[in-house]
Amino acid sequence: MMPKHCFLGFLISFFLTGVAGTQSTHESLKPQRVQFQSRNFHNILQWQPGRALTGNSSVYFVQYKIYGQRQWKNKEDCWGTQELFCDLTSETSDIQEPYYGRVRAASAGSYSEWSMTPRFTPWWETKIDPPVVNITQVNGSLLVILHAPNLPYRYQKEKNVSIEDYYELLYRVFIINNSLEKEQKVYEGAHRVVEIEALTPHSSYCVVAEIYQPMLDRRSQRSEERCVEIP
- For every one of its 231 residues, what pLDDT tens digit does the chain have, with 9 covering 90 and above? 445 455 444 444 444 444 444 455 567 889 999 999 999 999 999 999 987 665 567 899 999 999 999 999 999 999 999 999 999 999 999 999 999 999 999 998 899 999 999 999 999 999 999 999 999 998 889 999 999 998 887 666 666 678 888 999 999 999 999 888 889 999 999 999 999 998 988 899 999 999 999 999 999 999 999 999 988
Measured in residues, the chain has a length of 231
Q: Are 188 and 100 found together in one domain?
A: no
The CATH number linked to 60 is 2.60.40.10
Closest CA to 22 of 114, 106, 112: 112
Pair (12, 112) in one structural domain: yes
Which residues are within 8 A (CB) of 180 and not within 5 positions of it... i.e. 6 or more apart? none
Phi-psi region of 156 (alpha: psi -120 to 50; beta: other; left: phi over 0): alpha
Residue 101's domain comprises 4-124
What is the SS3 assignment for 153? helix
Same domain for 15 and 78?
Answer: yes
Q: Could you tell me where the DSSP H helices lie in 106-169?
A: 122-125, 153-156
Q: Are residues 37 and 76 in the same domain?
A: yes
Tell me: do 25 and 77 sit in the same domain: yes
- Do 135 and 120 fall into the same domain? no
The pTM of the full predicted model, rounded to 2 decimals, is: 0.81
Please say which residue of 124, 156, 185 terminates a domain. 124
Q: Do 76 and 135 reside in the same domain of the chain?
A: no
